[in-house]
Each structure stands twice: as C-alpha cells, then as structure tokens.
Amino acid sequence: CNSSYDWFSLSSAKIYYPLGYESRVFSKNFIFTSQTPHLIDSVMDLMDCREYMLTFPMVEECQPFDEDIVVYKICGKWFATIIFSRPETIAVKCNPDRAILLRDEYSAITPAWHFNKRHWNDLNVGMLPDDVVRRELRHSYFTVIKKNVAPKSLREELLLIASDSGLYDDAILPE
C-alpha cells in the first residue's frame, strides 16, 4: 500500500483513498460524503440506466453520430446521453443552480464533457447510489419537458402523461 494512502476496513472490504480528500467517491460500494465512508445499498450500470429511461413515456433512443453515442430524447429534445468510450458515465440535463449543488455534494457528479457545463452534468453511475441516479434521470427528463418542449399544450399533455404513469420529479430545486 502506498504510504500516501489511508484505508478503512468495513465489513471485510478494504477501501483505499488519498489522504486529505473528504468528499470523494473511491469505490463502487462506498461513498465518501464526509470523512466517514457509507455503504451504497445498490449501484446501477449503464444498461440499468437505459432500461429505466426507456420506461419514461414517449422517450426516443437513437444513435445520431455513431455506435459509441446513444442519445435519449423527449419530443426531439435531448435529456440524456451515454458515450460508451466513457465507461459508467451518463450526461444529463439539470437545473443550473441545482447542478452546482450536486457537484459540491457528490464527487461522482461533474460538469458534462463536451456539453454546456451550466446545464449538463456527468453522472458516474458506478459511484452513486441508484436512488440518486434515478432521481437525476427523472429530473433531466422533466427539466427538458418543462423548459424545452413547445407548444405549451404539448408540454402540459406530456406532464399529464408522465403523472398518469406514476413518474414524478422529486429533485429539490434551490430557491
């Protein structure tokens, strides 16, 4: 073990992380939100994310560029993108103020690569609890509907369809 690293042993699993880093994620099974690691109950992978997004009403999956990039749309507007050359990472649209708060709270959420950093986040799904990933996928879907789908009548119809299917946006927005 490198001397610049420290380790914890929880439930017979060893976790190594650089000394001095407090808000970092370093393992699929543990998340560091403070100096104390917390066990993650369940972790999604990209195929779980894909299957979950395809349950959203009227979602379209396409590959407009090449086989490496998959885009998820609602009414022709992007709300998520998977780039397979970036393992375990999915780009999602986000409220700009909320995006900053999420990046401060989770080291596995960063400004999206090759996207507008104000409106898009990258989620490292292998290092986030599945409830966080699901919440952010829903938030992205609803953000696009509310901000990018026109006309208003179509937007309202989509929100009603989503509500009828039991889908909701439970993301807390900053005031």
pLDDT per residue as tens digits for the range 80-128: 999 888 888 999 999 999 999 999 999 999 999 888 788 999 999 989 9
pTM score above 0.85 = no
Distance, in Å, from the CA atom of 156 to the CA atom of 158, rounded to the nearest integer, reads: 5
The strand pairing partners of 13, in sequence order, are: 10
Q: Which of 11-20, 81-90, 95-104, 138-147 has the lowest mean pLDDT?
A: 11-20
Query: What value, to the nearest 5°, has the Cα angle with vertex 167 and ends 55 and 81?
Result: 50
What is the CB-side half-sphere exposure of residue 124 using CA atoms within 13 A? 15
pLDDT at 175: 61
